[in-house]
Structure 1
Amino acid sequence: MNSCSLGVNAFRSSVQAAAHHLTRPCIRLLPAASLSARCFSSWPLAQQQPPPPRRGGHGRSGLAAPALLRSARPVLPQWLGIRTLIGGPPIPIHYVDIPPGYLDQDGLPFAKRDLDTAAVVAIFGPHISTTEANLLLRIMHGRRVAGTLEDPTVRINTMMFSKEHQKLALEYLRHNLPVDEIANAGLRAEDELAALEKGTDLAEDQARRGPGYTSKVKLYKDVEAEPKKDSVYGPSALDAIRARNKAKWDAELKRREEEKKKREEEERHGKAGPLQVAGKRQTRQLSPKMQEYVAKAQSDLKEPPKMKSWQRLLPSAVFVLGLSGLCLAYAEFYKPAKRADRLFPDIPPAAATVGTLILANVACWALWKIPPMWRFLNQYLMIVAATPRAATMFNAMFSHQSAFHLLQNMAVLWFLGVRFHDEVGRGTFLATYFASGALGGLGTLTWAVLKNRLDVASLGASGAIYGIGAAYLWLHRFESFRILGFPAPPSDGFQGLSLLALAAAINIGVVFIPRPLTVDIASHLMGMSVGVAAAHLVEMKREAKKREQAGEAKQA
């Protein structure tokens, strides 16, 4: 077995890329998002101004949506919101609307009908069933209405759900179904105190409620408290508790009202729209000029354009198939120039080719640091499932937003790309690189459209790099490699085929991790498939050449 030693992970540190992205709840913003393996994001309703640009690249390694992002919370797009449903009984949102016999484990209806599978996946991801997701939403909505969100005695009913899913459910409900949770909690506290004074249990009082039941407790801000007769026993402990609770509730309501006014003012100033990329929370106030660039870079669309699936896919598919045909022709007919005719004769061809690609990626990364360019980059250097452009299948593979993502991809491209280039030549190398990147982008777009995930966007060079890595490992699938000197001799190391299988397994395994998916698995796997196919064509060409040479030798 031939043993080789690579100075960096033979196929891009897939584990590191997955861990880097899965620790984030979502992608960052258009002019500011750091991504590592092509990622996905939703378009939440903007609530804050986005930070200045930083983003990840495409390997199909970075994902983002078409405009600037405001909130890191993955939220269901507005056109799938609860309020679009019609018919059915009214949805309870007030404490006094709690029906008789309400139980925390059953919850309360949060919509006219349960969400379907597509909506559940858009909110929670693929790691929870539709039935469980709707039950969780009913329980969390019931607690908002009953004022028991912070009640530890009912948490046993949601222990089967992860904290992340509970958080996503609560955020979705708060976004689509406003409820005054503070007021409901206050009303419940008042009823509990009243039941305590009477020596009864609140649950028993609630069980005796009839259809016309109305709590005697009113919001302090709506009804003036009646003058209380002096007690012969003096102030009670319950009076002191009520006073403290009233002061606390009043302060909380005032704070929320101020935050709401401030948020509305910021949104009006920034002209925010719902079709945006999810991103990192704002930590500082943007200057007026920067806010102007942010507003110009955002999309004015309220929902994706109405199009059939084939209408979204056909232009990009035709473009990518044409590009792939050109790549095959280039690989077949390319003739290397003589050294005297080369632009840089003293630089090895592999270094010149790979170095030029790296410089192109660095230049596109630098463009993301220029605010006036954000709108153009959003439109033409990012694959957006809602509004696809054919040219982005090629352009997006040069686009990175974060320095870390760029460095990660370019390091792998250098260590594997130079080796693959030396072995197959410039024609086959460039054909494999561009075909892998373009078909990887088309794979992502196809997946998003067929799954109706129009909130997905992607950019980066990972699809192309996975193609180069897969092609190189397939050509050496029965040879051995050491990664950073591991495993140590006398072991021969890892076979190329085992490394290729490990990279595929890691990408597939990420799908089953119970966290919001931010890695562009479709692009990675498609890039690997194209790389293996390219390596197979190289082997067939070599075999044909050997047979031709053998035939000529016999004739001689």
Structure 2
Amino acid sequence: MSNVLCVAWRTPGLGLRASSLLPPNATAPFRSIGRHSSPAWLLDSISRRFLNSSSLFTPLPFRLRRPEAPCPPSPSQISARFFQNSAGLLSQKVPPPEHGVKLRDEPFSKAEIDAIFGTRAKISLAMGNRALSVLQGRRLDGTLDLDFPADITRAVRAAGLDAGLKYLRENYPIDEDAAIMARIEREEREEETKLIRRAEELGLYKPQSGSYGAELGEGDDPSGRSVLKEYRKQNEERLLAEAERKRQEWLEGEEKDREKWKQQMEKNTSLQKYEDTSALEVKERADPTQRPVLAWIQKHHLRATNYEMDVTQLTTRRRILPALGFTLLTLGLCYAFAANYEPPAKADRMWPDLPPAAATAVAIIGANVGIFVLWKAWPPAWRLLNRYFISVAAYPRPFSLIGNVFSHQTVRHIATNMALIWFVGTKLHDEIGRGNFLALYMAAGVIGSFTSLTIHVLTNKLFITSLGASGAVSGKPACLPACPFGIPRAVYLANNQITSEKLTIAFLPREWQDTISAPGWVFLAGLVTFEVLSMVFPFRMATLDHWAHLGGYLTGTLWAVNWKEKERIEREKNKTWLDKVFG
């Protein structure tokens, strides 16, 4: 603590005072000055009141006998006059009228006033209520020792005030001693504040914070008001307001979506003929504050749905030609990949201990499973998946011809196709190698997708979508699966052409496989016949993309014929002259 306060207190000493300001009896030595100085009779009255407040008839300060001889001025009074100018001594502010504290809503009646103060007091109704209010206010403020307003002292005698105080103490008890102590502490703080401010004005005191009485922070933090907290509070309020605005826009957007969808229905006649009307309905939006997860899912569902797409502006040519160009480009890349692929050395492989066929199948299965998880568990990816991983005849995107080959939305769908890739694809991989296998995989997939897209556009079935395996297991005795890109069917055919073996069911006992078997062309003819019959007499138990299947069959057949021709040419080149003559 700095001792500047003492310096500021002692500054108006004897050497600095004008002699004309001293009273005649100022020759008496100064007493020590405490934090609060008052005349001796005042301090004596307060102390006696504090020590004997339980008595109802303690003499009030206004009843005490004033000292006959004038008291010498206290040092606090002298110092106060030293810091004031002459104008302040001549002009004194008139204190505001004292109203006290209202005891109850309705004023006391005349009978109650007479019962409190006595009939001899002859106090009016208004003055009686005012005196009681002022007395109660003085009790709460701890200022019963101060002089009462002049109008009360003229109208009410001391005995009447004692009677009113007695009534209040009996009917409205409070801790008057605590009120007096609170008043003393309050006046001490005010006096100390005045002294510190005066010392600061004179340059005798400089607080460490830069200014005395600076604004405290939250919870009376002496470090002051935190600008960072204010910015944070403003940002939080702004974010809350922004969130509420977005919430209202979200809830009000449902009607806008209905209007957009209505306009789409009016423009597009194909959409009006669509049978599944439940898929076209605009769902009620969830409140983000009550159902945040559902609202989050609906938000990304709407982002993935393009209401602004005007399919009426696309012609048949604009739908088919870009897809045809992408298909031809893919076939060219597949041919180049198959012709130039060289298998890596075992040391250079990512999984050297895993057979190449199994590694290839695992990579394909992993890609399909990853996209399946995005469909099921990550709504933010729906917009990307709707664009490039599902084939839509109404608004085709070229990349979706190959993207939908890796896309599945049901567990049965992906399980069936991945099982075929593992059990049949690995065997074909061992026969023809990785380069040919991957080229055949991609070529059959893109040709199947292009075939399906072209047929749906030409038949004006624009709102049919296709992805992944378009069918599931049919009710065949052999439990033959269906696949959208035709690779397993091409696998059966190619395997038959290469090894000249009959096709059978792998999990049957060996003695049964010779009986339950058929040549590859018979198996292929049966699959094609099934697809044709399914298109003529559609099954309701499963929705199959038969045109994609036929495109896969065509790709596998052409590849197998080409492979067989290459094998024949290679054998002819390797024949000796003796084989050529006698062959």
Question: When the two structures are superposed, what TM-score results if normalisation uses the length of structure 1?
Answer: 0.48
Q: Quick check: which one's helix share is greater? A: 2
TM-score, length of structure 2 as denominator length = 0.46
